[in-house]
Amino acid sequence: MPLLTLDAVSLAFGMQPLLDQASMTIEAGERVCLLGRNGEGKSTLLKIVSGEVTADGGVVRLDDGAILSVLPQNLPVNDTRTAYEAVSGAFPETGELLAEFHRLSQTADEASLDRLMKVQERLEALDGWRLDQKVGAILEQYGIDPEQCLNTLSGGWQRRVLLARALVTEPDILLLDEPTNHLDVPAIAWLEEALGQFRGAILFVSHDRAFIRRMATRIVELDRGHLVSFAATYDRYLDLKEKALEEEDRQNALFDKRLKQEEAWIRQGIKARRTRNMGRVRALKAMREERQQRRERGGTASFSVEDAARSGKLVVEASDAGFAYPDGTAVIRDMNMTVLRGDKIGLVGENGTGKTTLVRLMLGDLKPTDGRIRLGTNLQIAYFDQLRGELDLERNALDNLSEGREFIEINGQSKHVLGYLQEFLFSPERARSPVRVFSGGERARLLLAKLFSKPANILVLDEPTNDLDVETLELLESRLVEFAGTVIVISHDREFLDNVATDTVFLDGSGKVAEFVGGYTDWRRQGGRFPSEGVSRKATKPPKNQNPVPEKKPEAPTVADTKKTKPVKLSYKLKLELEKLPGQIEELETELEKLRAEISDPEFYSGPAESVSSTLAELGDKEAHLEKVIERWMELEEQANQ
């Protein structure tokens, strides 16, 4: 029996239904990615499954006794709860009692002791101490300080706390809505590993293509109110989807041709009317109704970038540049870099390593405290804010963009504001809606529309891929590649960086800035690694203060230190291990290819549930094993090349 069933679910807001008799099932152990354009209703569908929103019709059925948990899309704002309180809150009554017990145990007055005894008695009746152990265990597993307040944590650590809360109940199915948003690459890798170890079913919404490829065992697309399942990997889904759209266009063309013929027949003269077949007339009426009910696929975004006059050939030149806060905390040090017109720079680094500070230095918003930074001539900058701060949520899209104008100039052509917004897939009705009702993807598209309506020869994009659907994302990539000016991108989307960046600039958190040719994959190929990858896989606890800590002045190395830093040659045993690892990697990749081919078979999920679950579990285990083998190979290769 399926773990989750949606049967003929319908929901409408306004004229067009978001869900129109939508149906699907999810089996135990599946990892299903829900795809669809921005505004199609993916987040709403997850809310229907979780019970947050009630459908207009149809059935949503969870298997008897099954537990469902949700990892929300939005991070908490100004949440003063501790991590312990947030995670224990997954158990409503017990969690509140446990949090109260922890607070009361810090005081010593008689009134508190009296209440403490009552709380303790109730906890014992609810088996609260067992749940307390579960909360403590998962916090320790994820390296989370239980006393850390959520409002002092970075987005990545907040996401980690929320995942701990979702998993502490040991759910059978987990719902995830854009789980990689605002996470840096190491945090995404950690999330992938944590979810890979989860043995329950997962239904998730994501537009991070690398994450989808890593996680999804099946793709379900929400398209014009209907759910269409593709028992395939993400790349195979893209091929199948393209063929399906071609077939849909062919069938629609045949239908429209036949309808046109029937309309011509019904309008013939008196002679034809005498021989009219009433059955044919009724069939024509049915065809008209069918054509009227057809929901056309929305158009494709077709925006372009407004080019300003060319900047000088030199955009930025940094010589031994550095920046430190007044307290001496160094964020950037000894930076030497030259950016020329037309360069596409991708900034990579963990959250808090100073990427935004580096951009502000490069644009002249901050003055270096050391060295020199020289800016080029005729620089016109357009900035994309990941927090969407430039949008007024109470005004509609039209007012946000127009700023009092009726027409805007794009590359010498005058365009009406409504027509320009339609290029970004905003209908006239949607363009007049307040921004506060927009989905995250629609807000991102509106900000891109506003950004590209202004002439610029330098584009600075801070996390532009968050919430964008794949079609818009791919168009954005092509426009940035075609853009004649300079592009500076802060992004944790690995595939986006590969497709756009000509150079990757890496910040390691110590203030050092290193430049590499190519995108993210090229940086990894050249030995690029994040600092957190050099330590134990077990999560380290977040700092109490998110601001960088001033480094201590280096002390003179001792003899023992000198011996420790001397390159260590591989032993004979390690050399043998290194020689065998490529073969192991190739063997694992072959096994994974066979498993993925088996899972992509349309008949796979119709087999016994135990067989499906065991195969999916085997896939997850082998993927995790392959990752460890590759890491070991990289580690030994690095030692061998010293």
- 424: which DSSP letter? T
> 188: helix, coil or strand?
helix
- Helix 185-196 and helix 609-640: axis angle, to 10°? 140
- Residue 43 annotated in ligand binding: yes
- Residue 41 annotated in ligand binding: yes
Task: Report the pLDDT value the prediction gives residue 564, as an integer from 0 to 100.
Answer: 38
- Residue 353 annotated in ligand binding: yes
- 477: which DSSP letter? H
d(CA 54, CA 11): 8
Q: What is the 3-state secondary structure (H, E, C) of 306-325?
A: CECCCCCCEEEEEEEEEEEC
d(CA 27, CA 1): 8
Structure tokens at 353: 């390593």
Task: Report the pLDDT value the prediction gives residue 205, as an integer from 0 to 100.
Answer: 92
Bridge partners of residue 490, in order along the sequence: 347, 462
- Residue 579 annotated in ligand binding: no
Distance of CA 465 to the CA centre of its chain: 8
d(CA 559, CA 570): 22
- Residue 590 annotated in ligand binding: no
Structure tokens at 360: 């502000």
- Residue 356 annotated in ligand binding: yes
d(CA 330, CA 321): 11
d(CA 495, CA 193): 19
Bridge partners of residue 431, in order along the sequence: none
Half-sphere exposure of 35 (CA within 13 A, CB side): 24
> 461: helix, coil or strand?
strand
- 196: which DSSP letter? H
Task: Report the pLDDT value the prediction gives residue 405, as an integer from 0 to 100.
Answer: 73
- Residue 229 annotated in ligand binding: no
Across the 642 residues of the chain, what is the mean pLDDT of every consecutive 10-residue run? 89 78 91 87 90 91 90 78 86 80 70 77 80 86 85 80 88 90 82 86 91 91 88 86 79 78 65 58 72 59 58 87 86 90 91 86 89 88 69 84 76 78 81 82 82 83 81 83 89 90 91 90 87 54 43 37 44 76 83 78 65 76 79 75 64
Burial of 302 (0-12, 13-18, 19+ CB in 10 A): exposed
Q: Whole-structure pTM over 0.75, yes or no?
A: no
Contact of 515 with 488, CB cutoff 8 Å: no
Task: Report the pLDDT value the prediction gives residue 549, as an integer from 0 to 100.
Answer: 37
- Residue 439 annotated in ligand binding: no
d(CA 601, CA 5): 21
- Residue 279 annotated in ligand binding: no
d(CA 63, CA 42): 22
- Residue 575 annotated in ligand binding: no
Task: Report CA dihedral (481, 484, 489, 493) to the nearest 10 degrees.
Answer: -10
Long-range contacts of 257-265 (CB under 8 A, 24+ apart): 258/287, 259/284, 259/287, 259/288, 259/291, 262/287
Structure tokens at 208: 């991070």
| Helices first, then strands: H and E counts in the chain | 22, 20
